[in-house]
Amino acid sequence: MEDDAPVIYGLEFQARALTPQTAETDAIRFLVGTQSLKYDNQIHIIDFDDENNIINKNVLLHQVGEIWHISASPADKGVLATCYNKTSDSKVLTCAAVWRMPKELESGSHESPDDSSSTTQTLELLCHLDNTAHGNMACVTWEPMGDGKKIISLADNHILLWDLQESSSQAVLASSASLEGKGQLKFTSGRWSPHHNCTQVATANDTTLRGWDTRSMSQVYCIENAHGQLVRDLDFNPNKQYYLASCGDDCRVKFWDTRNVTEPVKTLEEHSHWVWNVRYNHSHDQLVLTGSSDSRVILSNMVSISSEPFGHLVDDEDLSDQEEHQQEENKEPLQDSVIATYEEHEDSVYAVDWSSADPWLFASLSYDGRLVVNRVPRALKYHILL
């Protein structure tokens, strides 16, 4: 019997990096990266057993430094990328690398590891994304639906497209572009669009959103002053090719149609502090998750701008003439609303993400190392499905 109660896991380390294991579509699994200056940093592999409502974990050592960003290969369960801090000549540099986890940990399991055997294991370094010429790495994003061989990294004001070759043991810089202009031009985040045959990437720098064509590395759109303050994150609607969401330090979440960038399609103002993260549900794009420094996670139902603004699609053949006529009259788009506000965190929520295996399940991570696994309320789930 599934339960709507949250499941909480404490990492005992500060943390801000979270990703679902994208290539794992059977087991519910998240990867979390720690931030510790005193101890070796770790990646916690979190397996959620939804039948028993418990979390099983495995720990991998990430000795090179504190983890600022983590992302998983869309094609290979065992491969992931991290952006991490390393100190050299008393300067701190944020680097990026691609890693492989031990073979026996690649697949999520429902078996709880026997305590004596759950020793900490080490990641195998596949390759560095060499940023000596480009500055600090902000994030790494994989080509969606790809073979796991193409990644984009953002470093200071550079957008870099890499080809992973020789079984990912070598990252070759295929092409790049730079932000031009006055002032401190630094990327904060980016996402690779699943649409347009995966030829578009969106980036955020300062208060601006930009779209890039990965074939020519040229800009395809630019939304200046998308937010009143720094843009923290963005995400693409998985079902509507021109739609993306952004969030930032102005406490707002905005939804854009990239064909008309003069103003947002919708704006949410539910958070009371910086919004660090926004994520569309992969299957039901009306469900949007946000996490903020106000310590809250908010699940919103953005149905009016979703791919099903009138609720689920009804098959016309199932309706009598009278019902059909009645339906025509009732075609009002459904109302957007906040579905739930989650208060299990006591510190800034730096990351939220949906499971890649279960569309009704999501995780959130606050800086104090608390990971919370929650479900979409059952009543809403059945309302969407039935």
> How confident is the model at residue 144, as a pLDDT?
95
Chain segment 204-263, per-residue pLDDT in tens: 999 999 999 999 999 999 999 999 999 999 999 999 999 999 999 999 999 999 999 999
Q: Mean of the pLDDT values across residues 94-121?
A: 76
> How confident is the model at residue 322, as a pLDDT?
54
Q: Would you kindly state where each structural domain of the chain is located, as residue ranges?
A: 7-105+120-308+331-385
What residues form DSSP beta bridges with 315? Answer: none
Q: What residues contact 105, with CB distance under 8 A and at least 6 apart?
A: 45, 58, 60, 78, 121
The whole model's pTM is what? 0.91
> How confident is the model at residue 109, as a pLDDT?
60
Instruction: Assign 323 a pLDDT band (cuts: 50, 70, 90).
Output: low
278, two tokens: 């926004």
270, two tokens: 């539910």
> How confident is the model at residue 316, as a pLDDT?
43
> How confident is the model at residue 269, as a pLDDT?
95
> How confident is the model at residue 90, as a pLDDT?
82
> How confident is the model at residue 182, as a pLDDT?
76
User: What string of DSSP letters covers 187-200?
Assistant: EEEEEE-SSGGG-E
- Quick check: 315 pLDDT over 70? no
Q: Mean of the pLDDT values across residues 196-202?
A: 96
Say if residues 217 and 239 touch (Cβ distance below 8 Å). Answer: no
**Which residue type occupies 187?**
F
Tell me the three-class secondary structure of 77-134, residue by residue: CCEEEEEEEEEECCEEEEEEEEEECCHHHCCCCCCCCCHHHCCCEECEEEEEECCCCC
- Quick check: 39 pLDDT over 70? yes
Q: Mean of the pLDDT values across residues 257-277?
A: 96
Q: Mean of the pLDDT values across residues 137-141?
A: 96
Sign of CA dihedral 313, 363, 23, 216: positive
292, two tokens: 């903020």
Q: What does the alpha-carbon distance between residue 342 and residue 355 come to, in Å, rounded to a whole number?
A: 17
Q: What residues contact 313, with CB distance under 8 A and at least 6 apart?
A: none
| Exposed/middle/buried for residue 69 (C-beta within 10 Å: 0-12, 13-18, 19+) | buried
- Quick check: 68 pLDDT over 80? yes
Using a pLDDT cut of 90, give the percent of the chain over it.
76
Chain segment 326-354, per-residue pLDDT in tens: 554 556 667 899 999 999 999 999 999 99
- Quick check: 383 pLDDT over 90? no
> How confident is the model at residue 112, as a pLDDT?
52
Helix (H) or strand (E) holding 310: none
The 3-state DSSP class for residue 240 equals coil
| Exposed/middle/buried for residue 126 (C-beta within 10 Å: 0-12, 13-18, 19+) | buried
354, two tokens: 């949906």
Instruction: Assign 37 a pLDDT band (cuts: 50, 70, 90).
Output: confident
Q: Mean of the pLDDT values across residues 258-284?
A: 96
Q: Mean of the pLDDT values across residues 292-303?
A: 96
154, two tokens: 């953002």
| pLDDT averaged over every residue in the chain | 90
Q: Mean of the pLDDT values across residues 63-84?
A: 96
CA 68 to chain centroid, in Å, comes to 13
CATH class of 7-105+120-308+331-385: mainly beta
> How confident is the model at residue 2, as a pLDDT?
56
> How confident is the model at residue 353, as a pLDDT?
98
> How confident is the model at residue 321, as a pLDDT?
54
> How confident is the model at residue 318, as a pLDDT?
47
Q: Mean of the pLDDT values across residues 314-336?
A: 56
- Quick check: 186 pLDDT over 70? yes
